[in-house]
């Protein structure tokens, strides 16, 4: 993308954010400041006579569905005491999808000195999120009236949205797994397919970067619900959350969640299975780029060579 194209997109996004403020709050913002955004959103902080607000806009018309999904999830967890921003409006009347939320005080928890305590609190928050029951599986659930795109059964979701068979094939074809590992993964997936627990809301990205905290390390908000989905809890969320953590942080998260030693042992194979499967898209991307060093790095990681805590 050229600088000219990037600047044109930013100017248009800023104009749409300003229009969304005027449409919903009645007056233009006193100041509109570009904030760090996600992979696809333009994010602005608006200083307004009625307070301070975060405005997210996106040029993709389909993004309205993601914003509506986030609004539904945030509303439900807010009702049960999960600290989240207040979403005031979601719409697309200004030429693109937008979301307006009140600013929540706090900074990302990534660099806070009390990360261990914050991660334990994240575990408690995750357990609370998972008490929100849902209907259907995957990205299309209670927030949407659509039925054709909803997976009504757990096996249907595993094979048709998560596409576990293709993911396993990718990992095997690219020599990410030994014969023994591939066999063990397939056995675990057959066990996972038999689960009959009801679905629940999963945040989909429980990481420190999505926690806002005050100076004392108290959580003020869990943000970025873009990847939330309906799944059997706690396995999907925990498999993602545990990936980036040190061993002490992993144990702090699971302690906060309230899992016993026996429960961790029973659940760990499923977390490992989901974690390994989540590498398949990254492996495919590296293959497409011909990035053999990255592929070899993935092979080393998935071999278990970096697991310093147990013998295989």
The average pLDDT across 104-119 equals 95
Query: Do 32 and 91 belong together in one domain?
Result: yes
End position of a domain, from candidates 71, 102, 133: 102
Q: What is the pLDDT of residue 71?
A: 98
Sequence-ordered list of residues with C-beta below 8 angstroms from that of 45, at least 6 positions apart, any chain? 32, 33, 35, 52, 53, 54, 55, 103
End position of a domain, from candidates 102, 118, 136: 102
Mean pLDDT of the chain: 95
Q: What is the pLDDT of residue 311?
A: 75
- Residue 218's CB is within 10 A of a number of other CB atoms, namely 14
At which residue do the structure tokens 């398949």 appear? 280
The average pLDDT across 144-148 equals 81
Query: Do 76 and 179 belong together in one domain?
Result: no
Alpha-carbon distances of 188 from 116, 175, 218, rounded to whole Å: 31, 19, 38
- Reading the block at residue 213, the tokens are 């905290």
Query: Do 56 and 144 belong together in one domain?
Result: no
266-288 pLDDT tens trace:
999 999 999 999 999 999 999 99
Q: What is the pLDDT of residue 237?
A: 98
Contact (Cβ atoms closer than 8 angstroms) between residue 223 and residue 210: yes
DSSP string, 147-158: -TT-B-SHHHHH
Query: Do 24 and 154 belong together in one domain?
Result: no
The average pLDDT across 131-159 equals 92
Query: Do 132 and 238 belong together in one domain?
Result: yes
The average pLDDT across 167-184 equals 97
Query: Do 80 and 133 belong together in one domain?
Result: no
What is the domain-level CATH number for residue 113? 3.90.1200.10
157-170 pLDDT tens trace:
999 999 999 999 99
Q: What is the pLDDT of residue 194?
A: 98
Query: Do 64 and 166 belong together in one domain?
Result: no
Q: What is the pTM of this model?
A: 0.92
Q: What is the pLDDT of residue 150?
A: 86
Q: How many domains are there within the chain?
A: 2
Tell me if residue 18 falls in helix, strand or coil: helix
Angle subtended at Cα 155 by Cα 299 and Cα 254, rounded to the nearest 5 degrees: 60
Name the residue range of residue 68's domain: 3-102
Q: What is the pLDDT of residue 40?
A: 66
Separation of alpha carbons 220 and 106, rounded Å: 6
Query: Do 126 and 21 belong together in one domain?
Result: no
Among candidate residues 30, 52, 59, 34, the one with its CA nearest the CA of residue 44: 34
Q: What is the pLDDT of residue 37?
A: 65
């Amino acid at each position: 993308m050229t600088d000219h194209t990037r600047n044109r997109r930013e100017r248009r996004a800023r104009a749409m954010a300003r229009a969304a403020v005027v449409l919903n709050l009645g007056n233009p913002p006193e100041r509109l400041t570009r904030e760090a955004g996600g992979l696809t959103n333009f994010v602005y902080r608006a200083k307004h006579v009625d307070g301070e607000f975060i405005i997210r806009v996106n040029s993709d018309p389909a993004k309205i569905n993601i914003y509506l999904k986030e609004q539904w999830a945030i509303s439900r967890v807010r009702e049960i005491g999960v600290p989240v921003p207040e979403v005031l409006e979601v719409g697309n009347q200004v030429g693109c999808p937008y979301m307006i939320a009140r600013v929540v005080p706090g900074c990302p928890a990534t660099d806070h000195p009390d990360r261990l305590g914050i991660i334990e609190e994240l575990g408690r928050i995750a357990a609370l999120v998972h008490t929100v029951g849902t209907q259907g599986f995957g990205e299309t659930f209670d927030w949407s009236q659509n039925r054709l795109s909803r997976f009504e059964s757990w096996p249907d979701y595993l094979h048709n949205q998560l596409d576990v068979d293709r993911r396993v094939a990718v990992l095997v074809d690219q020599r990410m797994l030994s014969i023994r590992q591939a066999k063990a993964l397939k056995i675990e997936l057959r066990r996972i397919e038999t689960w009959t627990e009801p679905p629940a809301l999963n945040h989909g990205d429980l990481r420190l970067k999505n926690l806002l905290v005050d100076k004392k390390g108290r959580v003020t908000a869990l943000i970025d619900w873009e990847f939330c989905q309906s799944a059997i809890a706690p396995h999907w969320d925990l498999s993602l959350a545990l990936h980036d953590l040190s061993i002490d942080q992993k144990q702090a998260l699971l302690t906060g969640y309230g899992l016993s030693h026996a429960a961790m042992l029973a659940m760990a194979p499923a977390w490992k299975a989901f974690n390994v499967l989540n590498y398949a898209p990254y492996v495919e991307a590296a293959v497409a780029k011909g990035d053999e060093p990255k592929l070899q790095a993935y092979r080393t990681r998935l071999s278990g060579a970096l697991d310093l805590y147990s013998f295989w």
